[in-house]
Amino acid sequence: MFENLSNNLAKAIKTLKGQGKITEINVAATVKEIRRALIQADVNYKVAKQITDDIKTNALGKDVLAAVSPGQLFTKVVSDELTKLMGSEKASINLNGKPAIILMAGLQGSGKTTFSAKLANYLKRQNKSVLLVACDIYRPAAAEQLHVLGQQIDVEVFSKVDHKDAIQIAQEGIEYAKNTHKQVVIIDTAGRQTVDVGMMQEIKKLQDTVKPAETLFVVDAMVGQDAVTTAQGFYEQLHFDGIVLTKLDGDTRGGAALSIRAVVSKPIKFIGTGEKLTDLDLFYPDRMAQRILGMGDVVSLVERAEQIYDEQEAKKLSQKLRKNQFNLDDFYSQIQQLKKMGNLKDLVSMIPGMSKIADNAGNIGEENFKAFETIIFSMTPQERAQPSLLDPNRRARVAKGSGMPIQEVNRLLKQFETMCQLMKQTQKGGIQHMMKLARKFR
């Protein structure tokens, strides 16, 4: 996400010239390019104009220290303004009540049902007992979908087959949650359009009846600027407490994330970063601003790594790297660990400078994993243990055995070499030291 915006902002800031001070003359062209980049990313025009005006005002006349270039100082100003635009600080979810009731709202196809399961899984990992309630009585198999997702994360789902009263289902679900001592109830509702008066009245009545601690508006980030217009129209009829942006892993220009907070004045609380039920992140405006500007987000990366981090395995890996014994079996193992951490393109954006290295090495995406795994298992154990044995003849044999073009085999080996380099760089500081350092800045 934000790939084009990040590239365009980097190009704009790179053109900044001057020494000693950032002046109106040397900043005018840069600000103009930033505004163009924001509008191309589908940011609301008024929002784009306001933020670039603020950037210009705050940057003008700032002294440039000897150790800092104008571009670096200007990047800090842009980062601060982007953070402010997206809400400045993380917004927590309200879990008051026994049980705490969370109501989902949004358009058809926005991803409410999947997000409901993701949120249930997120709260379960925080040792909360959760009940999902299926109140979408219009979409065929909506309740069945929620049951399937609930089974995947081992969370109970309450539904009423052939029942056509969403409010009654919600009430009975809440009563069941009280009787079974559930701490949180997540109510999945039907998608609706703001122009559909009857549907809007239904969810307003549902909100008035169950009195949720939190009403979350789920928005598909893929619809771009339309997401902001929709949120604004929804909020005029149904007051919600926070926004959820789904499908940020898709081909989105990112404008919704930058605009929606400024237009609706409600915080973004969660973002969906992939299709897996673990692909859910709290929204941190400062971290997102840093990622947009290519500054990385090591803290979020460490938080994800901690969930799968095995200290004993890390020590073995460290020893192998020091002895130059890291091989393709280890590479395969690391791919499996990366897959557990979430969308790989998302992870790449969290590492400062990693995007450029990844570009040089070719595309690194989850769609490549299956091909990589097939190629690796087409090698002999000796070849996996000693990748240097893979001369042109052996590579041709592996390509034929895996059913892949020789270019794919070469690309895999190039990715392997890149990963070895990156991991050796990480080892210099030590992954444990990196984690301790990142925790201090949470």
- Greatest mean pLDDT range, 38-52, 327-341, 405-419, 428-442: 405-419
* CA 254 to each of CA 142, 224, 225, 269: distance values in angstroms, whole numbers, following the listed order: 29, 7, 9, 16
Is 110 annotated as ligand-binding?
yes
Q: What is the pLDDT averaged over residues 88-108?
A: 87
Q: Is 61 annotated as a binding residue?
A: no
pLDDT at 301 over 60: no
More confident residue, 421 or 246: 246
User: What is the predicted pLDDT for the residue at 317?
Assistant: 64
Mean pLDDT score, 125-142: 89
Answer yes or no: is 92 within a domain: no
Residue 134: DSSP 8-state? E
Shared-domain flag, residues 116 and 238: yes
Smallest Cα–Cα separation from 363: which of 429, 414, 304, 426? Answer: 414
Percent of the chain topping pLDDT 70: 70
**Which one is predicted more confidently, 282 or 73?**
282
User: Residue 32: which pLDDT band, with cuts at 50, 70 and 90?
Assistant: confident
pLDDT at 174 over 90: yes
384 is an annotated ligand-binding site residue: no
More confident residue, 373 or 348: 373
Check the annotation: does 36 bind a ligand. no
Residue identified by tokens 């090698």 is 379
pLDDT at 435: 47
pTM comes to 0.65
Q: Buried b vs exposed e over 83-94: b needs ≥16 C-beta within 10 Å?
A: bbbbbeeebebb
- What is the residue-averaged pLDDT of the chain? 77
The structural domain count of the chain equals 3
36 and 8 in a common domain? yes
Q: What sign does the CA torsion over 287, 227, 279, 423 have?
A: negative
369 with 275, same domain: the answer is no
Helices (H), 211-297: 225-237, 255-264, 285-292
The reply, when asked if residue 249 is annotated as ligand binding, is yes
Domain end among 85, 109, 140 = 85
Q: What is the pLDDT of residue 304?
A: 57
Res. 338: pLDDT tops 80: no
Q: Is 20 annotated as a binding residue?
A: no
Residue 72 annotated as part of some ligand binding site: no
Span 116-138, average pLDDT: 92
- Are residues 278 and 351 both part of a single domain? no
Q: Is 192 annotated as a binding residue?
A: yes
Q: Is residue 16 part of a domain?
A: yes
Query: Which of the four pLDDT bands, split at 50, 70 and 90, describes residue 326?
Result: confident
Average pLDDT for residues 352-360, to the nearest whole number? Answer: 49
Q: Is residue 160 part of a domain?
A: yes
Question: So what's the pLDDT on residue 158?
Answer: 93
Q: Are residues 55 and 129 in the same domain?
A: no
208, 135: one domain:
yes
Instruction: Select from 53, 85, 117 the last residue of a domain.
Output: 85
> pLDDT-based confidence at 157, cuts 50/70/90?
very high
Query: What CATH number is attached to the domain comprising 64?
Result: 1.20.120.140
- Other C-beta atoms within 10 Å of 439: how many? 12
18 is in an annotated binding site: no
CB atoms within 10 A of CB 363: 11
Quote the pLDDT of residue 50.
87
Residue 302 shares a structural domain with residue 428 = yes
Backbone angles phi, psi at 397, to 5 degrees: -65, -45
Q: Could you tell me if 320 and 398 lie in one domain?
A: yes
Residue 105 lies inside a defined structural domain of this protein: yes
Residues 305 and 283 placed together within one structural domain of the fold: no
Quick: pLDDT tens for 263-273: 788 888 998 87
Q: Is residue 90 part of a domain?
A: no
Last residue of a domain, one of 85, 114, 143: 85
Instruction: Report whether 241 belongs to an annotated binding site.
Output: no
107 is in an annotated binding site: yes
Residue 51: give the domain boundaries.
3-85
Residue 113 labeled ligand binder: yes
The predicted structure's pLDDT at residue 388 = 87
Judgement on whether residues 286 and 355 belong to the same structural domain of the protein: no
317 is in an annotated binding site: no
Indicate whether 116 and 81 sit together in one domain.
no
The whole-angstrom separation of Cα 127 and Cα 242 is 23
Among 97-106, 312-321, 419-428, top mean pLDDT goes to: 97-106
Task: Report DSSP letters for 184-196, one per residue.
Answer: EEEEEE----TT-
Q: Is 41 annotated as a binding residue?
A: no
Tens digits of residue pLDDT in 385-441? 888 899 999 999 999 999 999 998 998 888 888 777 766 665 544 444 444 444 444
- Is 112 annotated in a binding site? The answer is yes
Say whether both 134 and 280 belong to one domain. yes
Average the pLDDT over 16-23 and give the result: 60
